[in-house]
Amino acid sequence: MGLFSNEKKVDYDKIVDKMVPDARKEMDESQYDTELGLNMARDARKVISGKLKIEDFHKVYSSSLTKEFGNYYASADGPDIRKGDGPKWAMVIDLKKCVGCDTCTVSCKAENRTPPGISYNVVMESLEGEFPNIKAVNLPRPCMQCDKPACAQVCPTRATYKMENGIVAIDNDRCIGCRYCIVACPYGARSFDFGDSYEQEMQGANDVTSPEYGVERGNREKGKTPIGTVRKCSFCFHRLQRGEEPACVETCIGDARFFGDISDPNSVVSKLAASPRAFRLKEELGTHPNVIYLR
């Protein structure tokens, strides 16, 4: 019997760990308190896993956040979830069908007009086993759209928030680019927009707006949002509003991606999520991602 007769032997969490940025290095590049960001990220995960009460979390950090962020700081008052009608979106990715072609990565960049160094969808590759029993493993990673997102827990301005439709959104007009959410995300799904551009390689590259959440922002210019803020996958929310699927789902050559309403028991994604092949990355954290994989 071959080494890979049982797919469970592949450590997918270890693969995704390679994409998680060095937290201290990330925070040292920010103008805000490094230790505060690292400590909040650590304790936010304790809140998510039930090891720390949310009330105690706010008691510990409220004073420090007020001191560090001043008028930018938004207290914990108010709803954690933004209301909204409609389905609860989820994505299922069949790893047996993923061929590692990176079409999802390319189509995502083209659709969302992301700048150099920022890719909302990546395909992590790993060689598992020992020669001659070696297998290439592809692990696509969009934003997990967690039901209990640690990124929202640490956001001092409440720019990151959860919508009832399952999407974790960013209000880039409120985001101050502190990067606390980047170090809190256990999946490495967030990036800071430094303002880099493809303008030198392609004339007119900055004339197309960033379409996140259906917001038209005009030409890409320094000092103008979303430059200086954090960006990530939104399940192509602007496409969902038009009744279309996310670009990565529509263009997947291997038909490895499925998208739909997981609250509907008759939907394809709901049935696939109930499969014995189904699993979520880093399930022990309690983030409950709305991206589900099939072994």
**pLDDT per residue as tens digits for the range 227-283:** 999 999 999 999 999 999 999 999 999 999 999 999 999 999 999 999 999 999 999
Query: Average pLDDT per run of 10 along the chain, which is 295 residues long?
Result: 50 94 96 98 96 95 96 68 73 97 96 94 90 89 97 96 94 96 98 93 82 84 93 96 96 97 97 98 97 97
pLDDT of residue 6: 45
To the nearest 10°, report the CA torsion of 279, 284, 286, 289: -30
Tokens of 274: 């109930």
pLDDT of residue 132: 83
pLDDT of residue 171: 94
**Could you tell me the residue ranges of all domains in the chain?**
10-294
From the list 76, 34, 19, 20, the residue with the least C-alpha distance to 179 is 34
DSSP annotation string for 169-222: EE-TTT-----HHHHH-TT---EE-----STTTSTTGGGSPP-GGG----S--T
pLDDT of residue 85: 60
pLDDT of residue 216: 81
**In the CATH hierarchy, which top-level class contains the domain 10-294?**
alpha beta
Residues composing the chain: 295
Tokens of 211: 């379409």
